[in-house]
Amino acid sequence: MKKILNLLPILTFFIFYRFYDIFTASKSLIFTSGLTCLLYWIIYKETDKINLFSFITIAIFGSLTIFFHNSQFIKWKITIIYMIFSIILFISQFWKKKPIVQIFLEKDIKISNFYWKKINFFWALFFLFCSILNIYIAFWLPEKTWVNFKVFGLSFLMFISILITSVYINFKILKEK
């Protein structure tokens, strides 16, 4: 159910973009993102911090897109979110005892701190790469290409990165045993 809730905003954005335009799609994105936060709270009796952060950035950049009738604002949203993720991961890499990725996953996965740092660094680079790639696609290619990249390209890149991380973790768990 959580996965469906997380996909709702991006799917409605894509559908509304296909039938209308970027501005109507931005309105739908703001609405469904807020609805996702509300439904998450109703169903699970807690606030998902990542969904809430995403809603706030969507509301800000989506509203600017609608108000100024300029699609550049909504195109910056994912770049800024991914840059923030990258910065947080880099900071945790060097100034925290445990990297952020380890803090979130160590209950379920037991590997040494050395490997957690490598995984954390990989994800910091991944988010940095995606934000730079988004800038290129958003501002040098047609809007339709950017929408397809945002919906399908970033999802594919995320899937591949999760797969790489999973294989790496399983390999290290087997190696440590």
62 with 84, same domain: the answer is: no
Number of domains in the chain: 2
The pLDDT assigned to 1 comes to 65
115 with 141, same domain: the answer is: yes
The pLDDT assigned to 26 comes to 96
33 with 49, same domain: the answer is: yes
Tens-place pLDDT, residues 12-25: 999 999 999 999 99
How many Cα neighbours within 13 Å face the side chain of 68?
Answer: 11
How many angstroms separate the CA atoms of 11 and 85, rounded?
22
Tens-place pLDDT, residues 111-135: 778 888 999 999 999 999 999 999 9
51 with 5, same domain: the answer is: yes
Report pTM: 0.85
Question: Which residue range is the domain that position 25 belongs to?
Answer: 1-70
Domain boundary residue, one of 70, 101, 120: 70
Contact 6, 33 (CB under 8 A): no
